[in-house]
Amino acid sequence: MRIGVLTGGGDCPGLNAVIRAVVRKGVQDHGHDFIGFKDGWRGPLHGAVVQLGIPAVRGILPRGGTVLGSSRTNPFKEPDGVRRILDSLAKYEVDALIAIGGEDTLGVASRLHEEHGIRCVGVPKTIDNDLSATDYTFGFDTAVNIATEAIDRLHTTAESHMRVLVVEVMGRHAGWIALHSGLAGGANVILVPERRFDLDEVCGWVTSRFRASYAPIVVVAEGAMPKDGDLVLKDAAAQDSFGHVRLSGVGEWLAKEIERRTGKEARTIVLGHVQRGGTPSAFDRWLATRFGLHAIAAVDDGDFGTMVALQGTDIVRVPLAEATAQLKTVPAALYEEAKVFFG
Amino acid sequence: MRIGVLTGGGDCPGLNAVIRAVVRKGVQDHGHDFIGFKDGWRGPLHGAVVQLGIPAVRGILPRGGTVLGSSRTNPFKEPDGVRRILDSLAKYEVDALIAIGGEDTLGVASRLHEEHGIRCVGVPKTIDNDLSATDYTFGFDTAVNIATEAIDRLHTTAESHMRVLVVEVMGRHAGWIALHSGLAGGANVILVPERRFDLDEVCGWVTSRFRASYAPIVVVAEGAMPKDGDLVLKDAAAQDSFGHVRLSGVGEWLAKEIERRTGKEARTIVLGHVQRGGTPSAFDRWLATRFGLHAIAAVDDGDFGTMVALQGTDIVRVPLAEATAQLKTVPAALYEEAKVFFG
Amino acid sequence: MRIGVLTGGGDCPGLNAVIRAVVRKGVQDHGHDFIGFKDGWRGPLHGAVVQLGIPAVRGILPRGGTVLGSSRTNPFKEPDGVRRILDSLAKYEVDALIAIGGEDTLGVASRLHEEHGIRCVGVPKTIDNDLSATDYTFGFDTAVNIATEAIDRLHTTAESHMRVLVVEVMGRHAGWIALHSGLAGGANVILVPERRFDLDEVCGWVTSRFRASYAPIVVVAEGAMPKDGDLVLKDAAAQDSFGHVRLSGVGEWLAKEIERRTGKEARTIVLGHVQRGGTPSAFDRWLATRFGLHAIAAVDDGDFGTMVALQGTDIVRVPLAEATAQLKTVPAALYEEAKVFFG
Amino acid sequence: MRIGVLTGGGDCPGLNAVIRAVVRKGVQDHGHDFIGFKDGWRGPLHGAVVQLGIPAVRGILPRGGTVLGSSRTNPFKEPDGVRRILDSLAKYEVDALIAIGGEDTLGVASRLHEEHGIRCVGVPKTIDNDLSATDYTFGFDTAVNIATEAIDRLHTTAESHMRVLVVEVMGRHAGWIALHSGLAGGANVILVPERRFDLDEVCGWVTSRFRASYAPIVVVAEGAMPKDGDLVLKDAAAQDSFGHVRLSGVGEWLAKEIERRTGKEARTIVLGHVQRGGTPSAFDRWLATRFGLHAIAAVDDGDFGTMVALQGTDIVRVPLAEATAQLKTVPAALYEEAKVFFG
């Protein structure tokens, strides 16, 4: 059996661990043959392929990024895209396809399976942890660890100068990284996209922290938004591709507003790409490896149109269509739970 | 309401995070009063207490160990132990007790609740992750990360000298740390207490790794045991307090046997206490913090005789008696899953 | 003998290690008495003091920041500042003063010693490593390690998307952090304040890296500046307090210019405050500790008006006036040495 | 010009950084041709060679170990060894040899140069930092960081159980790693090979630490030895190849003696190989890279029979014979300096 593999969307620590597990198990236990498509859906679209056997996956387990490259190319938006994909799969005699990616990449896999009978198995990947049907996605734990270490470091510098430090972390539509790293790092305010924040309330927490003779750390997800009345700089907000309104540079905006309103010096740190690169945490390597092993099992069972997912400590299979139907966001109750540490 | 708190058994990264969450939520949201008992059950036994309020828990979230101290003292094994505990709780006017510990510590809490009506809530703690009824315990993720980083480091030194490196990790009765860190670190052999190992098979994996021009890493849980026929050094094995036969220094014994049988140089690294000290990983801080918040909720609901536990991403409550009834060991199927990476 | 201690300027990992060593040696070996001034020169100016004995320095060795607080207050710029300092020192019966800080803080100490006979010993502190007369200052090694780890992480994400990543590190007037972390992290371009860069040359290196099928990492010190002709956005540059022209946000500006000129996607990461907070590296703890021990020795020898400094592996004393006379910048020859790795 | 490169002795983080710098500069700036000899002097002895060009050194900067392999083979101790080396160098038309190693490896290079006119340049490598003529060797800083992080972790676990923890670190003949990591980690006793320790004194420090309500950490170099009278277990000591008497397992022996004499529970942690593997610290990458660049410069200047060395912040050249004449050990004064922190 010849199996194609591709990785799409933003890179994420653990992608290589999935690829390695898929190939090791596929070749050693089942005698499958593999072909790697370069740069997500761009690979089958343009016929860009790489050899993918045991030698190609040697030593890649601890490496961040993806040896297959990635892109956000969507064949359904390319002229004649789907036909070219089908031709590619035929040309390279691909019996089944393992697609590793997020909502977009897996959405394509789901449609190719449903509309064109392509035998696809999906592996979920989102550093933001916002994919439904799985408890966690790999990459998320690494990102949270990196953000938490950064917050740890910032506490002492904040205290030394009695400044507010605003830390902007990833999370466009879901605040999982902000919530987890904020709680783990002992932040004094955590702001998430799921709940518009009230600047007066934020400034209240900041001020109360100073009153206790400590310097506050504010963790804000990049997609967090103030309440309408608070948004003075209208033009800084714009609609993104999901139709959500986003404030570009929310961390910097927030620091300025806090400084203006409380009279306390405030600085911003935008963690950015550092959160998504480099070696995966042990948890992410474990999860990615198990996802890879179970994706091969799904292929062998002929269980196409499914995605592997983590539920508790079990790897299960869920329909691709269901997994990509809606984002998994932070529930209100969980956010409320964290509030005892605010201020 | 006055709540007593104690930590028992071996220390574990995250204990302080539990204590902090318990006190922050208890004081701020419910106006409770706290008292810390020193060194596990030794505290109420000897009337050794410490003040436990907001100031005492400032800054302890990222710190390993336990500010309350710990011990393995079991009041049921001390002369007049239970009565002295009851007297202590009466003297300090303790309305409820939060006991943070493993099988032993929680077993005492369970009996005190059932036999003497003490209002106890348990928080599970075992670095080995071998407690039933909870998907994970805090400290485990930190230990796995430390072991994985060590294995990462050992790969290059093994390759440079083409040596076998045997890494002994924690896990007396359960191989969770060995299995997770071995998989995450790309080990070539993983040995766990749940399954007696066959030296010929181990040497076969070692040899096959060398044939592929790589140097093997063998991860062995401290409680792993060879098959009877393989155990030449009879006197090195002894029964521990659980009645299990244990081979003291299994890592060193294994390295010698591998060297003797394969003719390849083999060295041992015993990770030991480094795995259990120091700052908790982000995951462990998150889990410990949530356990603490939910323990207070259980107290407030009057839900005594229970233990908080993680199931999926939810914190639930389970009966203390059930949780301590038997160890959670590595299922055979999960161990088999890992074998594709052996050799 | 009563010794006052203060820390001035930006915080730096290792400040607490100096304070601890000073107090431990002073109290234990010499029976000195200590007084801590809060927030740099603001402390003696406003009579803000804290107790400073063995208990106050327990456990602070691995902690970033400074338990004494810091500020950039300069008594020579405050109304009646010097007289208020002198009054404070008299009031608290301070026999000698240990000032830990950079060019500004030590410049004040130097003038107080020369013009007013205050018995001062200086300990050099600059995270940028730009103080003359000492091979290294503590904090620098920590910052370089943090920047290097970030660059390590960014390589894989750059490769996965074949993007240019521009990493802006600290260094207003000297490029030591950029040079060291750039070399250690395998950067493909390193830009320092000491040498104006030529955008064409930078884009040439970027392009040549892509031609070799790799994605380039550009490390740029925050104080680096393009050649005049390249500076399209005139208004983005401004004179700072040293009279140097600085381009605010050079990293972001550079990424845009590279993207515009090469057609390759480019992103910026500004490491910012993360570089200066948190636990010091082993080297920085060692250096800071030795600085502290030798500062006490200088006080005991009555060797005032001096600063401790590292030369090779020895701690020596140099005149304060000399040490603060001019910045230590990256020599041209050293920068040229690194160029073999560009492109 | 064709240049041979080899790495000998125990592996050390930074070896690959030297190799990369040598090749990058040699090829790009001088058009040299390279040949890699496998496994130290075993390579030219047996004619085991590998290609060594730009592609072979891609991506190896952050990797521990050595891509050339290593061994302790000494051609002067092999039958016909020197002649076989000379033949190999002639056969592969090697014009100059860069030998990267410690006392042994460089001692061979020195004799080959002096006695046989082989054009050798040495690069010093010893994780123990015990080579004369250079302030530091790469690998040492990494080892000290790893040991310090381990000590950091052990403090909290020691405190939680009020136990003595004995940490055995590398250092057979010199206590540099013990001294640096002990000071940086806040150890309460540091024992080095340069000074025989007195058990009563050690137990005194341990006891005084407990009296202050803290748990002691004892850092001991593997080559440290008790005073003669203290050495009860005579047979545990043996002469090593340098003619030094060594106590095998000094850490474990010490923990037992401390427990026996003070009545306090004591445990041992032997850090072992973890100290020498894995990614080099930023300092070690910087030092190794500069050593590599300057080794090529020495070759180009025809400055053979020399070793590159760090003095202050400069890379200089010293005669190979001088560098390997005697070990660099911890001076008594420096050890005394640390004692203020004992107890």
- CATH code, domain carrying C51: 3.40.50.450
pLDDT score at D15: 98
The yes-or-no verdict on residue D233 having pLDDT over 80 is no
Which residues make Cβ contacts (< 8 Å) with residue A205, sequence separation at least 6?
A188, A189, A216, A342, A343
Contact list in B for residue A181 (CB cut-off 8 A) is: 282
Which residues make Cβ contacts (< 8 Å) with residue D211, sequence separation at least 6?
none
pLDDT score at D252: 93
The CA distance from C255 to the nearest CA of chain A, in Å, is 14
- Report how far residue D204's alpha carbon sits from residue D188's, in angstroms, rounded to the nearest whole number: 11
User: Do residues B245 and B148 both lie within one domain?
Assistant: yes
pLDDT mean across residues, chain B: 94
Q: Which of D135, D184, D289 sits opposite C282 (nearest CB)?
A: D184
- Report how far residue D310's alpha carbon sits from residue D287's, in angstroms, rounded to the nearest whole number: 8
Per-residue model confidence as pLDDT tens digits over B269-280: 999 999 998 999
Q: Is residue A211 part of a domain?
A: yes
Share of chain B above pLDDT 70, in %: 95
B219, containing H or E segment: strand B217-221
- pLDDT grade for D235, boundaries at 50, 70 and 90: very low
The CA distance from A301 to the nearest CA of chain C, in Å, is 31
Catalytic member of C11, C29, C87, C128: C128
pLDDT score at D325: 84
Per-residue model confidence as pLDDT tens digits over D246-285: 677 999 999 999 999 999 999 999 999 999 989 999 999 9
> Helical H runs in B175-279?
176-184, 199-211, 250-262
Tell me the catalytic residues of A. Answer: 128
The yes-or-no verdict on residue A80 having pLDDT over 70 is yes
Q: Which of A65, A152, A157 sits opposite C156 (nearest CB)?
A: A65
What amino acid is encoded at B320 in this protein? Answer: L
Asked whether the beta carbons of D118 and D112 are under 8 A apart, the reply is yes
Contact list in A for residue C10 (CB cut-off 8 A) is: 161
Listed residues C217, C241, C275: the one ending a domain: C275
**Is A311 close to B312, i.e. CB distance below 8 A?**
yes
Asked whether the beta carbons of A271 and A170 are under 8 A apart, the reply is yes
pLDDT score at B237: 54
**Is D273 close to B154, i.e. CB distance below 8 A?**
yes
- Tokens of residue B45, six digits: 């036994």
User: Do residues C130 and C60 both lie within one domain?
Assistant: yes
Per-residue pLDDT tens listing for chain C (343 residues): 999 999 999 999 999 999 999 999 999 999 999 999 999 999 999 999 999 999 999 999 999 999 999 999 999 999 999 999 999 999 999 999 999 999 999 999 999 999 999 999 999 999 999 999 999 999 999 999 999 999 999 999 999 999 999 999 999 999 999 999 999 999 999 999 999 999 999 999 999 999 988 999 999 999 999 997 776 544 455 555 555 556 779 999 999 999 999 999 999 999 999 999 899 999 999 999 999 999 999 999 999 999 999 999 999 999 998 888 889 999 999 999 999 999 9
pLDDT score at A219: 98
In this structure, of A297-306, B78-87, D323-332, the range with the lowest mean pLDDT score is D323-332
Per-residue model confidence as pLDDT tens digits over C194-233: 999 999 999 999 999 999 889 999 999 999 999 977 765 4
B196 is in an annotated binding site: no
Q: Is residue C212 part of a domain?
A: yes
Q: Is residue A339 part of a domain?
A: no
Supply angle C-alpha D241, D245, D251, rounded to 5. 110
Closest CA to C182 of C154, C223, C210, C213: C154
Averaged pLDDT, A191-201: 97
Structural domain span for residue A216: 141-275
User: Do residues D224 and D160 both lie within one domain?
Assistant: yes
- Report how far residue B130's alpha carbon sits from residue C324's, in angstroms, rounded to the nearest whole number: 60
Averaged pLDDT, A280-304: 98
Q: Which of D70, D71, D156 sits opposite B278 (nearest CB)?
A: D156
User: Do residues D202 and D309 both lie within one domain?
Assistant: no
For residue D154, what is the nearest residue in chain B, using CA coordinates? B277
- Report how far residue C141's alpha carbon sits from residue C129's, in angstroms, rounded to the nearest whole number: 9
pLDDT score at A228: 77
DSSP string, C255-306: HHHHHHHH---EEEEE-GGGGT-SPPPHHHHHHHHHHHHHHHHHHHTT-TTE
Supply angle C-alpha A179, A180, A184, rounded to 5. 115
Averaged pLDDT, D26-34: 96
The yes-or-no verdict on residue B318 having pLDDT over 50 is yes
Asked whether the beta carbons of A159 and A214 are under 8 A apart, the reply is yes
For residue C154, what is the nearest residue in chain A, using CA coordinates? A277
Asked whether the beta carbons of B99 and B109 are under 8 A apart, the reply is yes
pLDDT score at A323: 87
CB pairs under 8 A between C and D: 85
- Report how far residue D231's alpha carbon sits from residue D198's, in angstroms, rounded to the nearest whole number: 10
**Is C69 close to A160, i.e. CB distance below 8 A?**
yes
Per-residue model confidence as pLDDT tens digits over D237-250: 555 555 555 677 99
What amino acid is encoded at D44 in this protein? Answer: P
Closest CA to C41 of C75, C11, C3: C75
Closest CA to D215 of D145, D159, D147: D159
B172 is in an annotated binding site: yes
Chains that touch C (3 or more CB pairs under 8 A): A, D
User: Do residues B102 and B30 both lie within one domain?
Assistant: yes
- Report how far residue B276's alpha carbon sits from residue B144's, in angstroms, rounded to the nearest whole number: 10
**Structural domain count of chain A:** 2
The yes-or-no verdict on residue B236 having pLDDT over 70 is no
Contact list in B for residue D146 (CB cut-off 8 A) is: 153
Q: Is residue D146 part of a domain?
A: yes
What amino acid is encoded at C43 in this protein? Answer: G
Which whole-number Å values give the CA distances from D305 to A130, A154, C197, D126, in the listed order?
Answer: 62, 49, 39, 19
Q: Which of A183, A185, A282 sits opposite B144 (nearest CB)?
A: A282
Contact list in B for residue A342 (CB cut-off 8 A) is: none
The yes-or-no verdict on residue B282 having pLDDT over 50 is yes
The yes-or-no verdict on residue A245 having pLDDT over 90 is no
User: Do residues D211 and D250 both lie within one domain?
Assistant: yes
- Report how far residue B16's alpha carbon sits from residue B288's, in angstroms, rounded to the nearest whole number: 8
pLDDT score at C44: 97
- Report how far residue B12's alpha carbon sits from residue B23's, in angstroms, rounded to the nearest whole number: 19
Per-residue model confidence as pLDDT tens digits over D132-150: 999 999 999 999 999 999 9
User: Do residues C48 and C131 both lie within one domain?
Assistant: yes
User: Do residues B190 and B174 both lie within one domain?
Assistant: yes
Q: Is residue B333 part of a domain?
A: no
For residue B227, give the CATH number of its domain: 3.40.50.460
Catalytic member of B11, B39, B104, B128: B128
- Report how far residue B228's alpha carbon sits from residue B248's, in angstroms, rounded to the nearest whole number: 15
pLDDT score at C324: 83
The yes-or-no verdict on residue A115 having pLDDT over 70 is yes
- Report how far residue A143's alpha carbon sits from residue A169's, in angstroms, rounded to the nearest whole number: 9
Share of chain A above pLDDT 70, in %: 95
**Is D278 close to B156, i.e. CB distance below 8 A?**
yes
Q: How many CB atoms lie within 10 A of CB D262?
A: 17
Contact list in A for residue B341 (CB cut-off 8 A) is: 24
Asked whether the beta carbons of A290 and B337 are under 8 A apart, the reply is yes
- Report how far residue B186's alpha carbon sits from residue B149's, in angstroms, rounded to the nearest whole number: 11
The yes-or-no verdict on residue D102 having pLDDT over 90 is yes
- Tokens of residue A120, six digits: 């696809």
Of the residues B153, B170, B270, the best mutation for testing chain D's interface (the one with the most D CB atoms within 10 Å of its CB) is: B153
The yes-or-no verdict on residue A240 having pLDDT over 60 is no
- Report how far residue A105's alpha carbon sits from residue A6's, in angstroms, rounded to the nearest whole number: 9
- Report how far residue D234's alpha carbon sits from residue C241's, in angstroms, rounded to the nearest whole number: 69
Q: Which of C15, C65, C154 sits opposite A277 (nearest CB)?
A: C154
Share of chain B above pLDDT 90, in %: 90
- Report how far residue A190's alpha carbon sits from residue A179's, in angstroms, rounded to the nearest whole number: 6
Map residue C112 onto helix, strand or coil.
Answer: helix
Contact list in A for residue C279 (CB cut-off 8 A) is: 153
The yes-or-no verdict on residue B8 having pLDDT over 80 is yes
Q: Is residue D340 part of a domain?
A: no
Contact list in B for residue A31 (CB cut-off 8 A) is: none
User: Do residues D17 and D95 both lie within one domain?
Assistant: yes
B109, containing H or E segment: helix B103-116
Q: Is residue B332 part of a domain?
A: no
User: Do residues B208 and B239 both lie within one domain?
Assistant: yes
Phi-psi group of D216: left, alpha or beta (phi > 0 → left; psi -120 to 50 → alpha; rest → beta): beta
Averaged pLDDT, D169-187: 97
Distance from chain centroid for Cα C45: 24
Which whole-number Å values give the CA distances from D59 to A46, A177, C155, in the listed order?
Answer: 29, 30, 10
For residue A150, what is the nearest residue in chain C, using CA coordinates? C274
Q: Is D202 exposed, middle or buried (0-12, 13-18, 19+ CB in 10 A)?
A: buried
- Report how far residue D310's alpha carbon sits from residue D295's, in angstroms, rounded to the nearest whole number: 12
- The counts of H helices and E strands in chain B are 12, 13
pLDDT score at C2: 98
The yes-or-no verdict on residue B22 having pLDDT over 60 is yes
- Tokens of residue B95, six digits: 């309305």
For residue C63, what is the nearest residue in chain A, using CA coordinates? A156
pTM: 0.95
Interface of A with C (CB under 8 A): 10-11, 13, 15, 63-66, 69-71, 146, 149-150, 152-162, 165, 267-274, 276-279
User: Do residues B10 and B134 both lie within one domain?
Assistant: yes
Map residue D124 onto helix, strand or coil.
Answer: strand
Q: Is residue C341 part of a domain?
A: no
Q: How many CB atoms lie within 10 A of CB A234?
A: 7
User: Do residues A119 and A20 both lie within one domain?
Assistant: yes
User: Sheet of D217-221: strands edge to edge?
Assistant: D189-191, D217-221, D164-169, D266-270
- Reported for A263-267, long-range contacts at CB under 8 A and 24+ positions apart, including other chains, are A264/A162, A264/A163, A264/A164, A264/A206, A264/A207, A264/A210, A265/A161, A265/A162, A265/A163, A265/A164, A266/A163, A266/A164, A266/A165, A266/A166, A267/A163, A267/A164, A267/A165, A267/A166, A267/C272, A267/C273
Asked whether the beta carbons of D246 and D256 are under 8 A apart, the reply is no
Torsion of CA B5, B10, B12, B14, to 10 degrees: 0
The yes-or-no verdict on residue B138 having pLDDT over 80 is yes
Q: How many CB atoms lie within 10 A of CB B190?
A: 29
User: Binding site for diphosphate: what residues of A are annotated?
Assistant: 10
